[in-house]
């Protein structure tokens, strides 16, 4: 029996995201396992682990909104921008005030350019940046556009500043810590990081590795798996008739008539069969038809029942 779905895993400190994926692969016996957004080894919190058919929607999850709680230590700069790196500079941060930090956080609000750290999993000419960094090689990294919708100062205990951040996908909180230290003139590094949210999952509902391992051992892991379409519930949905269902299963375009005059906003929608199972991800073509980008078969086990999709028809 294949396992298809998504686990909201509470990643512990000291484990790589790849190590967590390897554990879930071993416990589940499912070959296709991947995560939707790396967490650094010392970071904790929400790690979205996709299993079976769930791995086919990873591309739709990489850019989702995330929330982090970060402790940033002023006055110490490291080569990795976090606490595991080697200290490369020490400066006096005693003159930095709480009000300065608040104003600086406000300046990061919105769309900003951010340079990824060398110690990251990004590729450069076939190698990961962190591999080059370990060889003592540093390469130019192009700034990337990232977005911060909230930066809130939670605690001021100099030299440590605790903040909570809402941001878009592709954001490096280590780089944010580095940029804060540079702007304040004293340097800084990321001391501690917790991912509180990776839409639509929250740390409050995350399952620990210990509990998940026991659930696989006992055979009741179904209580922790989320259906493949649960992460797409913010998209519009279509319930297909038999004819359109057959076309989608063959990879053919279909024409949808949604409730309302204008149809759904956005370029994707969820498609369900007449008997209610999640059938496909459809992408809108330039001609106004809907093309099946991903077609799924129904799960062979029971998962938590979800609310019905919004009313629409074809």
Q: Point out the residues that are catalytic.
A: 40
Q: Do the beta carbons of residue 280 and residue 263 sit within 8 Å?
A: no
Q: Do the beta carbons of residue 198 and residue 66 sit within 8 Å?
A: yes
How far from chain centre, in Å, is Cα 241? Answer: 34
DSSP states along 35-78: ESS---TT-EEEEEEEEGGGGGGGGGTTTS-EEEEEEEEETEEE
Q: Do the beta carbons of residue 227 and residue 306 sit within 8 Å?
A: yes
Distance between CA 49 and CA 72 in Å, rounded?
A: 28
Distance between CA 188 and CA 90 in Å, rounded?
A: 9
* Cβ neighbours, 10 Å, residue 218: 8
Q: Do the beta carbons of residue 91 and residue 79 sit within 8 Å?
A: no
Distance between CA 132 and CA 143 in Å, rounded?
A: 18
Q: Is the dihedral of CA 36, 40, 46, 51 positive or negative?
A: positive
SS percent in the chain: helix, strand, coil, step 5: 25, 35, 40
Distance between CA 57 and CA 270 in Å, rounded?
A: 12
Distance between CA 6 and CA 225 in Å, rounded?
A: 6
Distance between CA 141 and CA 278 in Å, rounded?
A: 41
């Amino acid at each position: 029996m294949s396992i298809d779905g998504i686990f909201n895993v509470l990643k512990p400190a000291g484990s790589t995201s790849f190590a967590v994926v390897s554990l879930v692969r071993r416990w589940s016996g499912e070959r296709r396992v991947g995560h939707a957004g790396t967490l650094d080894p010392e970071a904790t919190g929400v790690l979205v682990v996709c299993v079976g058919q769930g791995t086919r929607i990873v591309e739709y999850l990489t850019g989702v909104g995330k929330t982090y709680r970060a402790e940033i230590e002023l006055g110490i700069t490291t080569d990795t921008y976090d606490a595991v790196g080697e200290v490369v500079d020490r400066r006096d941060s005693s003159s930095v005030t709480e009000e300065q930090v608040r104003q600086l956080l406000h300046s990061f609000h919105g769309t900003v350019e951010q340079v990824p750290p060398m110690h990251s999993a990004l590729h450069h000419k076939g190698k990961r940046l962190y591999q080059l960094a370990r060889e003592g090689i540093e390469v130019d990294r192009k700034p990337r556009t990232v977005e911060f919708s909230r930066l809130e100062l939670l605690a001021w205990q100099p030299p440590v500043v605790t903040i909570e951040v809402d941001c878009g996908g592709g954001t490096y909180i280590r780089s944010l810590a580095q940029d804060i230290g540079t702007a304040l003139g004293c340097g800084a590094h990321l001391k501690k990081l917790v991912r509180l949210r990776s839409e639509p999952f929250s740390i409050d509902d995350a399952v620990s590795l210990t509990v998940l391992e026991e659930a696989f051992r006992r055979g009741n892991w179904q209580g922790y798996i989320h259906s493949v379409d649960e992460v797409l519930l913010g998209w519009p949905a279509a319930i297909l008739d038999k004819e359109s269902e057959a076309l989608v299963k063959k990879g053919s375009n279909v024409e949808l008539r949604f409730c309302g005059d204008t149809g759904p906003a956005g370029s994707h929608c969820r498609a369900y069969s007449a008997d209610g199972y999640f059938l496909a991800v459809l992408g809108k073509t330039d001609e106004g038809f809907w093309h099946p980008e991903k077609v799924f078969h129904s799960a062979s086990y029971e998962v938590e029942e979800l609310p019905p999709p919004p009313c629409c028809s074809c």
